[in-house]
């Protein structure tokens, strides 16, 4: 089990997401979006994790504003969500392990998605986007 910390970041009525396209064993592709973030390392707070992960994955500096809540994934761990804001640059650039793992079978792309499009997309834990909108 691995616990994670994830960021909900808005910019001009858009939310920052990581687009994912992963090839399945049958050759088809699973297409979905996730809120950016990642696993909590030993001796690291959840807030430190989300700041580190956004810097590593998207080369963004962020400020944690407020804890939103958690999603318990049976047998897989807990995802913790934070409402955050970018500091300075708001343009995400794929970097770190995600950039290294890109291939025709495994694709990552950070992007801002219009809030009005959130409901029709396959976004994991999208309810936390709506909870962050209430805070914003």
DSSP 48-114: HHHHHHHHHHH---EEEEEEEEEEEETTTEEEEEEEEEE-S-------HHHHHT-BTTEEEEEEEEE
pLDDT at 73: 85
Percentage of the chain exceeding pLDDT 90: 88
CA 96 to chain centre: 14
Mean pLDDT over each residue of the chain, to the nearest integer: 94
Given a cut of 90, whether residue 76 has pLDDT beyond it is: no
Question: Rounded CA gap, 53 and 37, in Å?
Answer: 5
Average pLDDT value for residue range 83-106: 92
pLDDT at 122: 94
Average pLDDT value for residue range 91-120: 94
Average pLDDT value for residue range 33-57: 96
The bridge status of strand 14-23 relative to strand 106-114 is: antiparallel
């Amino acid at each position: 089990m691995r616990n994670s910390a994830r960021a909900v970041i808005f910019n001009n009525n858009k939310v920052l997401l990581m687009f994912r396209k992963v090839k399945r064993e049958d050759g088809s592709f699973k297409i979905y979006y996730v809120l950016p973030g990642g696993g909590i390392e030993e001796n690291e707070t959840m807030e430190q994790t989300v700041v580190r992960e956004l810097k590593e994955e998207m080369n963004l500096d962020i400020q944690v504003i407020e804890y939103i809540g958690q999603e318990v994934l049976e047998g897989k761990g807990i995802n913790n969500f934070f409402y955050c804001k970018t500091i300075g640059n708001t343009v995400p650039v794929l970097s770190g392990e995600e950039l290294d793992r890109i291939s025709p079978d495994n694709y990552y792309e950070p992007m801002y998605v219009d809030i009005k499009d959130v409901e029709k997309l396959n976004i994991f834990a999208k309810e936390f986007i709506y909870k962050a909108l209430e805070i914003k």
